[in-house]
Structure 1
Amino acid sequence: MRCSKRIVLLALSILLLSGCVTRTLKTESEINYQEDILLKAKNYNGLITMYRSWLKENDTPESRLKLSRYYYLAGDYKSSLYYLQSLNMSKDMRVSILQAQNMIALGDYGPAIRVTDRMLQQMPNNAEAYNLRGVALALSGKLEEGKRSIERSRELFIADDVAINNLAMIEMIDGRYQGAVGLLLPQYLRGKKQTQILHNLVLSLVKVGDRRYARNIVESENLSRDPDALIAAMSSISPRGKGAS
């Protein structure tokens, strides 16, 4: 009887270690359909699992880039860079953009600036390269140079809300919260309600002492179940390194 129990326990442990066997997606149309569903749910871990399985049999640059993108969106920046390694020699700007985004997220501002400089050698009028270069420069302490680079990206028609949010970030880093409010509030009133814009606006309002308006935004945009706790927390934090696009 003891022997049979041990066999059952061993079988269960094997099942637990091996995990569940799921049906492998075999066609691109199946992948695309499942990807749409997972993207709508922002289920980045599900997307990572799906593309890791797909890449075992279909390791293409496009699929590898997607896997790296979903690692980035899931906040696993080192894994994202790891899976980009085989694409490093590619001239695909999307690879360089994702590299720079990961490096900025990791605080590796020098390498990020070098990546954007290479991008600009290849495409001198690349708006996204100027934007990311500006963010990396600002976060490394070169605020004026960073500001000029982001303003250049705006001249090259990067999305206005991206440029304005990042210019506001520079104001915040430099302690000029009123300037950040002046940039972000018109965007909010025009219906621009991306998470980064909302958080940076609320933080800036708190820092300039307008807690009432900050609380109204937190409540109306459902940013927290406890607006007072969020505002109290924001009053004691520094924005350095946070909220860039």
Structure 2
Amino acid sequence: MTQKSMSSETITAKETLYESTQNYSALISLYRDVLKAKEDPSIRYKLAKTYYQRGDSKSSLLYLTPLLNDNTKLATQAKILQIKNLIQLNNFQEAISVANELLLKSPNEGEVYN
């Protein structure tokens, strides 16, 4: 079965299995294959989040970049993940700067305060 013919149900089933077993390598492969077939911002975010969970903040930031400039809820989530990545990389000044920008745009976003 090629990735293009893989149904969303199949993708969801694999995603659930890989998440429950914390198989980040398999999740990354799954998300990358889906993105090769078709660009999908939510899959891109999930890929970036999985890289972060695996401790690979540089790859996470690479995949996050296209999501950061939108004015959507997903962009807000992407900014929060960007901040977490910057902290994981010990880049605290940039993390504070991004957090302050985000708070100006979304002052009610509680996760930013953490």
1:88-134 Cα distance to aligned partner (Å, 9 max, x none): 20232111010000000000101111111111101212211111xxx
The alignment status of 1:67 with 2:47, answered yes or no, reads yes
**C-alpha distance in structure 2 between counterparts of 1:60 and 1:47, whole Å:** 15
1:110 matched to 2:90: no
1:30 paired to 2:31: no
Q: 1:83 aligns with which of 63, 88, 98?
A: 63
Q: Distance in 2 between matches of 1:113 and 1:37?
A: 35
Q: TM-score, normalization: structure 1?
A: 0.43
TM-score between both structures, scaled by the size of structure 2: 0.90
The residue number in structure 1 matching 2:22 is: 42
Aligned-partner SS, 1:49: helix
* Greater than 6 Å deviation, 4+ residue runs: none
**Bigger fraction of residues in helix:** 2
Which of 96, 99, 120 does residue 82 from structure 2 map onto?
99
Secondary structure at the counterpart of residue 59 of structure 1: coil
Q: Whose Rg is larger?
A: 1
SS of corresponding position for 1:86: helix
- Map of 1:52 onto structure 2: 32
Kindly indicate whether structure 1 or structure 2 has the higher relative contact order, using CA contacts under 8 Å at least 6 residues apart. 2
| Ranges in structure 1 where 5+ consecutive residues have no aligned partner | 1-21, 132-245
- Equivalent-residue separation in structure 2 for 1:81 and 1:90 (angstroms): 15
What's the offset of the Cα at 1:23?
4.5
CA distance in 2, matches of 1:126, 1:62: 19
Query: Aligned letter for 2:84?
Result: Q
Equivalent residue pairs, number = 110
For 1:206, the equivalent position in structure 2 comes to none
Alpha-carbon distance between aligned partners in 1 of 2:69 and 2:15, rounded to the nearest angstrom: 27
Q: CA deviation at 1:30?
A: 1.1
Percent identity at matched positions? 36
In structure 2, list runs of 5 or more residues that go unmatched: none
1:71 alignment partner AA:
Y
